[in-house]
Amino acid sequence: MLAYYPEINAGITTQSNHAAFDGSIAFRLAEAFFRDDMQIDEEEKSDAGDDEFDAESYDAEDFDDFVGRYALDAAPAFILTFTREDNTLHAQATGQQRLEIVPTSDTTFALTTVDASFVFHRNADGEVDALTLNQNGQQRATRLDDAEEAWAPTTEQLSAFAGRYFSEELETFYTLTLEDEQLAVHHRRLDDFNLTPGEEDTFAGGGFTLSFERDRNGQVIAFYVANGRTRDVRFARVD
């Protein structure tokens, strides 16, 4: 994580070989070193939540402004879906179970069983168009068009992605098979995992996002894989 503060011509960086390293540590260190030069505006204070906020006083219907689907900017196939059932609020990530969330302010919410939280953002017109996911660092997600239906490929469409793929960069193979109407990924050194459709021709699973490439005839010829720390590693289809 690299954070730079141009107003004071200073910055800070943290590095780790651990995938679950908490990127927010950089900001806490920066606050410790540069506290006297920092000013927190009212919006940031609101985003951080209010320690005296009374969750029981929150009107669940207000959450309807946030209901919808949000795609991570760094991994568009990974989608966060927010729903409301009466007074109960839920968040569900691609390929994961639905979990209950609770308000910590008018715009911030936290998962009840996982150390993660969300900050919703409004644009200049007052419309909710993005959020920040706080979990092992910060990741921004952009709201998807509500009128846009989720991609639901048929079994025949899924079969077009099955095959063997090779990366010259990593010198390794991935094999995709269609099992029980779902794509499964196999690698000789990793546990098998299933893929969940995201946007068209994109899937998520096993901590990875796979974005498929087609030729001019619409045939699947490769995919690009990302896992949050790595992007656009190409695997060409060989079978």
Which DSSP string corresponds to 98-116? -EEEEESSSSEEEESSSS-
- Assess if CATH 2.40.128.50 describes domain 155-237: yes
Q: Give the residue-averaged pLDDT of 50-69.
A: 86
| Tokens (6 digits) for 211 | 């974005």
One CATH from 3.40.718.10, 3.40.50.1820, 2.40.70.10, 2.40.128.50 for 40-143: 2.40.128.50
- Kindly report, residue by residue over 127-143, the tens digit of the pLDDT: 999 999 988 778 899 99
Q: Dmax over Cα atoms in the chain, in whole Å?
A: 61
Q: Where exactly are the structural domains of the chain?
A: 40-143, 155-237
Q: Do domains 40-143 and 155-237 have the same CATH topology?
A: yes
pLDDT at 196: 84
d(CA 14, CA 135): 16
Verdict on whether the full-model pTM lies above 0.75:
no
pLDDT bucket at 192, cuts 50 / 70 / 90: very high
Q: Which residues contact 217 (CB under 8 A, 6 or more apart)?
A: none
Q: Is the pLDDT of residue 197 over 70?
A: yes
**Contact assessment for residue 60 and residue 45, using Cβ atoms and an 8 Å cutoff:** no
pLDDT digits (tens, 9 = 90+) for 16-59: 887 666 667 888 888 899 988 876 554 444 444 455 788 888 99
Q: State pLDDT tens for residues 74-115.
A: 877 788 999 998 999 999 887 677 889 999 999 999 998 778
In sign, the C-alpha dihedral spanning 118, 122, 128, 131 is negative
